[in-house]
Amino acid sequence: MVKQYLILLGFFVFAFTPMQTVEAETVPKVEDSYVTTEDIVSDLVFPTIDKRVIKEYGGDDLFDWQWQRIVGIKYNDNHSYDVAVRVNIPSKNNDNVKEDLVKVRVSPSCDSGKINKQKCTHGLKIEIVEYKHLSK
């Protein structure tokens, strides 16, 4: 009788045990990556600034300008942020680099129930507020 149960148990184990094994694809580990707040903000506002710099100086999509640094971040009453960024624009003959200040307003979406809906009624918006040529 025990022999029949062992055979039956062996049959069930054989029937319900998968015969093929699939190994998951290995994902490279990103251990040495360090992201700062400035990296996150630059990822958000870089395309908007890029369009404006190209508009100011002309040129194509391969126009080369450099993000210098964030000069300041100011929180506004309507749940938006004004981010001031310095950018360097090289001249055509590479002897003079122009420096500009771009103020960008980042307005995150007002989806949270914790936000005052009377002051905050917008979705995600990123817009240029001010553009100054610092160097002549």
What does the pLDDT read at residue 74? 93
Number of domains present in the structure of the chain:
1
Handedness of CA 101, 74, 121, 126 (dihedral sign): positive
**Is residue 6 assigned to a domain?**
no
Q: How far is CA 133 from CA 31, 86, 88, 89, 100, in A?
A: 40, 10, 10, 10, 5
pTM of the model: 0.65
- Full pLDDT tens readout for the chain, 136 residues: 778 878 877 777 777 776 667 777 777 776 677 788 888 888 888 889 888 888 888 776 556 788 888 999 999 887 788 999 999 888 766 667 888 999 999 988 877 766 666 667 777 889 999 999 887 6
What does the pLDDT read at residue 30? 66
Boundaries of domain holding 53? 35-133
**Is residue 17 assigned to a domain?**
no
CATH of the domain at 118: 3.10.450
**Is residue 69 assigned to a domain?**
yes
**Is residue 7 assigned to a domain?**
no
**Is residue 28 assigned to a domain?**
no
